[in-house]
Amino acid sequence: MSEHKSKRRVLVTGASGGIGGAIAIALSAAGFEVVLHYRNGRDAVEAIAAAIEGSSGERPRLRCFDVADRQAVGVALAAELEGHGHLWGVICNAGIHADAPLPVMKPEAWDSVLRTNLDGFYNVVQPLVMPMVRARDGGRIVAISSIAGIAGNRGQANYAASKAGIIGAAKSVAQELAKRAITVNCVAPGLIETDMIAGAPVEKLLEMIPMRRLGQPQEVAAAVAFLCSEGAAYITGQVLSVNGGML
Ligand code: NDP
């Protein structure tokens, strides 16, 4: 199997973001061909693609779509599958937050976060599964959840619900696909230094983190790369926390 490894393709959603970019770089370094997804962050994803080309010699293909737009996702993934065959793996990393205490949370904040983070998982993973199964080469699905999806977080009922939902979905799909040697796991980051936490009260937050520092995107990426490795072939339906000891 290992001789196929360099040809195995993995889609990384939100590769224009802090964590997704680091995941794409880590998976490329691990020998995967990566397909980079983005929505608005063209310059950011181009920079990641250039870094990967510089180290691997191969320019990753870019795919642009809104993960919340089921039809657009379907069209883009159909083009990917028709043009290049099945994807061996997918990393569902694209996500947003729109925080507010529930009594003042606007319907749009609830809807947009659930549509992006939870529906996005279905929209992206569902079209990829049957081709993955038919290829009979196993596979990997990794979803980026959050500590908020495990423990909840004040002001993040929408975000926590979406991230808890991903865990339930991943555990279910893990059971469906286990016989096919396709593993489905979640990584649950704590507080990671990216644009997503820009403006957060970092000093105050550090008091909640036993390690007293923010995590780095590369530390999340390392967990994802492990779950995509041959060594993790018997791990499925799990949630791997990367949070400096928060729980
Ligand atoms: P960033 O804001 O840096 O990146 C978010 C990524 O998601 C971008 O690539 C963005 O694409 C993409 N994205 C957002 N909405 C959509 C959409 N509707 N369609 C397609 N792509 C979309 O955040 P992080 O890198 O920090 O976050 C990555 C993941 O990690 C998220 O799921 C987040 O919830 C999770 N996470 C982050 C934590 C943190 O502390 N940073 C903690 C726990 C979990 P583009 O910019 O191209 O539009």
pLDDT in tens, 188-214: 999 999 999 998 899 999 999 999 999
In this prediction, what percent of the chain has a pLDDT beyond 70? 98
How many angstroms separate the CA atoms of 206 and 212, rounded? 5
- Token pair recorded at residue 218: 């590369």
pLDDT value at 103 more than 60? yes
pLDDT value at 17 more than 50? yes
pLDDT in tens, 106-152: 999 999 999 999 999 999 999 999 999 999 999 999 999 999 999 99
Average pLDDT, the chain: 96
The answer, as to whether pTM is greater than 0.75, is yes
Cα maximum dimension of the chain: 55
pLDDT in tens, 130-142: 999 999 999 999 9
Active site residue 38: no
Quick check: CB of 12 below 6 Å from ligand 1? no
Quick check: CB of 166 below 6 Å from ligand 1? no
- Token pair recorded at residue 57: 């010699």
Instruction: Return the ligand 1 atom nearest residue 215 CA.
Output: 40
pLDDT value at 6 more than 70? no
DSSP β-bridge partners for residue 239: 186
- Token pair recorded at residue 40: 């608005």
Quick check: CB of 162 below 6 Å from ligand 1? no
Instruction: Choose one of 90, 196, 241 to mutate for the ligand 1 pocket test, by most ligand atoms within 8 angstroms of C-beta.
Output: 196
54 burial via Cβ count (<10 Å: 0-12, 13-18, 19+): exposed
Instruction: Give the phi and the psi of residue 61 in degrees, each rounded to 5.
Output: -75, 145
pLDDT value at 5 more than 50? no
pLDDT value at 1 more than 60? no
pLDDT value at 31 more than 90? yes
How many angstroms separate the CA atoms of 141 and 130, rounded? 13
Work out the pLDDT band at 247, boundaries 50, 70, 90: confident
How many angstroms is it from 95 CA to the middle of ligand 1?
4
How many angstroms separate the CA atoms of 19 and 233, rounded? 23
How many angstroms is it from 216 CA to the middle of ligand 1?
14
Map out the domains of the chain with their CATH numbers: 3-242 (3.40.50.720)
Contact 67, 120 (CB under 8 A): yes
